[in-house]
Chain A
Amino acid sequence: MKLAYYPGCVSLSTGKEMDVSTRAVCAALGIELEELSDWNCCGATHVSNELVATGLSARNMAQTELPIMTPCSICYSNLRSAVRRLEDGEVRERVNAVLEKKYSGAAIRHALDVILESLEKKDERIVLPLKEMKVAAYYGCLLTRPVGQYSPQFPTILEELIKRLEAEPVELRHKTSCCGGPIFMPREDAADDIAFAILAEAKEAGAEVIVTVCPLCHLMLDAKQKALEDKKGQKIGIPVLYVTQLVGIALGLSPEELGLEMNSVSPMAMVERAYERMAARS
């Protein structure tokens, strides 16, 4: 399978491990990725004018004929929203008037869905089944909203993938709640309260790891975890992995290939536990 790959701006900075692990897992699963040429920012959640946001996504989508895959839920949500708006002939005409390559339709996929589709049940490439591992599935907002492939409030695809890796999904009441990320710069206190509620719930539910599909969720729950612990006076200490990192661990890829050293809360103890549990079973 060959797909166009849209890494998104975060892949070059705070989400490097998302990009690294996406490329590594796709390579291991035989999914060929061709990076979109000269891609631009999708506007994230900060471009208020919808036509401008649509134009930014349309320019990206016009670069390829292949289906486009992104590992970032924000990019994914923006691309899918743009596809829907561009179904309107008037919008398409206005947007195409300013584009060099014209938009003529696109198929948008999230890495999560591509990877799940590529993994068979009991897939022999899963060399480290994550049995007994309690994994909290945290979707955040934009994988499923406004027009994802999944239920906007009660999705299950992440749990399906967790089970395919033979791990145990931990259900969070907050699983599709917002992480607060989009307002964390100008409104830090409000964002902190929201993010901490998710971490505290995962802790109480006994999660050994939280899995995310969005670099902003990851930033709030991982890079900010220590600051949140200090601020709230409660230890959390739960590693937060991109879904591609979790899959990569189960596929037996190395920590370097998955960028695990770039995670703020180290997942190494959790990885070792997975190997110990496998050794104990055999």
Chain B
Amino acid sequence: MSTATAAKDVEFKQEVLRLAGPEMLTCIQCGTCSASCPTAHLMNPSIRKLVKLCLEGRKEEALHNETLWLCTSCLLCTVRCPRGIRPKAVVSALKDIAERESVRGRDASYEEFFLKQIKNYGRIAELPLTAEFLLVYPQAAVQSMQMGLELISKGKIGARVDRIEGRDEVKRIVEKLRE
């Protein structure tokens, strides 16, 4: 490993610790987080290993994997961790870094569109959000169609987008607090 890469990896580790909390350093790799995770069977690396990758500064492996996007944010790992670490916050930190560094993929796109809607309108409208996502990933349309039609028939999703008055303030929250 070159010196430049090593330096960057230390920087990466520090950034994860800043975002997810220094208690990560106390991880004993017990695997309670993985054992609690509803999508653990689909993850590689496991959530336990993801924490280890961060602590070892292995940025590429930590950022480019399916694990981040399989987290359902259920927080069971977080309430169970015997060391008071918040594994879901580690996932969030990695997503935040991935988004800032423009890592692309269907899941990153969904998060990006979501945040963009909040920034522009202040609220989420499901139909435009879904439409934007399906434009990028049309293959998801086949799966979502049945439920989508069901919701439309019940009058629950429309194209209307609510725009709040405080849009500038919300935009400021999204932009300034992310720095």
Chain A residues close to B by CB (< 8 Å): 9-10, 12-16, 38-41, 43-52, 54-56, 59, 77, 94-95, 97-100, 141-142, 145-146, 152-153, 176-178, 180-183, 185-188, 190-191, 194, 219, 223-224, 226-227, 230, 261-262, 264
Q: Determine whether the beta carbon of B164 is less than 8 Å from that of A40.
A: yes
Interface of B is mostly: helix
Residues of A within 8 A of B140 (CB): 185-186, 188
Can you name 7 A-B residue pairings with CB atoms under 8 Å? Answer: A38-B164, A40-B118, A95-B177, A142-B75, A153-B79, A185-B110, A187-B39
Contacts of B90-129 to chain A: CB distance below 8 A:
92-93, 95-96, 99, 106-107, 110-111, 114-115, 117-118, 122-127
Whether A145 touches B79, Cβ cut-off 8 Å, given contacts A14-B126, A52-B174, is: yes
- Cβ–Cβ contact B96 & A48, under 8 A: yes
Q: CB-CB < 8 A to A47: which residues of B? A: 114-115, 118
| Complex alpha-carbon distance, A187 and B70, angstroms | 7
Do the beta carbons of B72 and A41 come within 8 Å of each other? no
With contacts A9-B124, A98-B172 taken as known, whether A14 is within 8 angstroms of B114 at the C-beta atoms is no
A182 neighbours in B (Cβ, 8 Å):
72-74
Residues of B within 8 A of A41 (CB): 117-118, 122-124
B135 to chain A, nearest CB (A): 13
Segment 127-179 of B: residues with Cβ below 8 Å from A: 127, 130, 133, 137, 140, 143-144, 146-147, 150-151, 154-158, 162, 164-166, 169-170, 172-174, 176-178
Number of residue pairs A-B, CB distance < 8 angstroms: 182
Q: How far is the CA of A97 from the CA of B177 in the complex (A)?
A: 10
Contact A181:B72 (CB < 8 A) given known A40-B122, A223-B150? yes
Interface residues of B (CB under 8 A from A): 19, 38-39, 42, 69-76, 78-80, 86, 89, 92-93, 95-96, 99, 106-107, 110-111, 114-115, 117-118, 122-127, 130, 133, 137, 140, 143-144, 146-147, 150-151, 154-158, 162, 164-166, 169-170, 172-174, 176-178
